[in-house]
A and B are shown apart, each in its own frame.
Chain A
Amino acid sequence: MLMSNVVEVENVSKRFNTYENKDTGLFSSFRRRKKIVRALDGVSFSIKQGEIIALLGRNGSGKSTMIKTITGILHPDLGSVRVLGMDPWKDRQKLAMDIGVVFGATHPQLYWNLPPIDTFEYVRDVYGISQKDYKQRLEYFIKLLDISKVYKKQTRQLSLGERMKCEMVAALLHFPKFVVMDEPTIGVDLPARMGIKRAVRELRKSHGMTFLITTHVVDDISMADRIVMLERGKKIFDGKPERLRNTFSKYIILEVKFADGESGKGFKMKGRVISSEPGHVKLGILPSMLKDEWLRKLITSDRVADYRISEPGLSSILARFYSSRDRKGKEADIDADE
């Protein structure tokens, strides 16, 4: 299969004007100062046809600005964006025929007072889908996302998970080549989240759709081929999910339970103490330490009831990364391009 680039983002920068009150008095709203926020700062990446990319980053990292730029809602101040060979800002309406966008629960596409089927029919007419194709595709999505019991109910009566699945159908009925999903699983229960993830994989496999998914939910990373991570408008990671762990955490976790209830008194231990309670110690150690003599002595000791060596979870890696960045307050970016 020819893997051409569906999205090409080159050195994109975007600044916004915001305003903040100078003081807190009664008339402070009249005394505002303009602030320029650098939402995107020289971001570059590309997405190949058929890839599933997770765009990670915390609030204010630039994820939403990035997807608004890619979908043609915003124009970059600097740099260039090409999606399916088009300039999203100039060719917004033409591009809209070939892309699908699922905004999370914040900006729904479904008509709130009507059942989703009405929105589906509206989408059919807007995108010029023939009645025959529409019927086939609707049946396909009903089965794929398991919405047979919900798509004729009033949208306002549906659960968030059911709504998100129907939002997906409304965004994908025209079988777009490229799909952008903005936090599709926020607040969605586990079965619905699994259903959405399964559908994304299936649509990629059977229709070659390309996905860009922004998310806060670390669990969603499992469906991605690649992760692009933004922090304060800059790209700080672009690579496979397994590389994220190695990039942001040099440590592996060693947990030791002591039979005598002591916290390892008398043992030589290296690495970083993550937590220490009576009878239980959790250490962050470097993989190179696995062959160290102190570790061999520790885990073979009679005083040790149990031990476990594991890789840290992505949630804890990211949490630690963010807190360390906040502490440092500087932008020491990790260049991890593949």
Chain B
Amino acid sequence: MDLIIVAAAVAVGLVLGWALCRGGDQRTADVAAPARPSTVDHRQVLDMAQAAVVVVDARGDETYRNDRARALRRTHSGVLIDEAVERHVGRALNGADTAEVIDLYGPPRQTMSVSCHRLPDGGVVAFIDDVTERRRIDAMRTDFVANISHELKTPVGAIAVLADALVDEDDPEVMARMVSRMVAEAERAARTIDDLLELSEIELSSPTDRLPLEPVDVLRAAADRLGQAAEQRSITIDIDAAVPDLVVVGDPRQLSSALGNLVDNAVKYSDDGARVRLRARTNDDWVELVVADDGVGIPERDLERIFERFYRVDKARSRGTGGTGLGLAIVRHVANNHGGDVLVHSTEGEGSSFVLRLPGTPRNPDDVPQEPMGDVADPTPNPQQVNTR
């Protein structure tokens, strides 16, 4: 019996020992063994890459092209990029890594970066990257610094020069002219600073001052603000008084400022005697406030940059009209602050149409604007057009 018990104990011991050893081995294996080979095909991974990738062997024959690089082949831009890749692969096969940035007029206009690197087996890998957006942001940053310096330094410099000249001047007529120029330059600097402060305030504002607003009232307030400037040049501001189904919940001051800037631009860049058209409409859950003119329009190449701070389409003309270069930046920030956006359609020589898109909300009969939008007259009972003149 003792023998049986001893034998059983030995057997259990052996089994336990084996099991423990096996567990220990497993743990060791978990720590020390190399990672199992991935089952993912690296080509599939490269097909998901943002960059186009082309691989050639040491003889220059193409051995691989990812999905994005294959798609390039079908376009005229791709044909030109392929030409650049071929040129750079030739150089890289001779030993040097190379890179080039190519500007393509398109359409669409693009900036592409092509870089080629030698592989250990003597082949070459080429990466083709679309850097259009990166270049645009770089240009925006560089231009902003240059423009803000220019906008603030020019009036200050002019005032300094005029003051210097005034010291030695004794002709009252000339002195009066110089002083009036100094006042104009000082006002220009003050306008720029005011707009910068307004922009900063909009950027930092919280959504606490929001009220339900009638879209047509917002348009009327803007039209009233600019009524006098328009009248001086016999420009008619027409408001389509059709009341949309939705109202806007927004900051009255900010919206008035944004619409004011849009109407101001429309008046400034229209010919004398022209018409500026304002309209509110709904589009799904959005309220769209439209400001359209038949003025000089905006060249296509400038359209994507006009909302940048201090960006000017026609530098000479814009400064002549007294703008600070911040108006459209303010409009964009107001739109973003309200969860909306601003769209522009423009053709040079034919006019522009700006659409301020804001989230709409159903009209509640109990909701009335708690803050008047400027000196707004009672809405005329549904006329097709209201002439503010």
Say whether A and B bind each other.
Answer: no
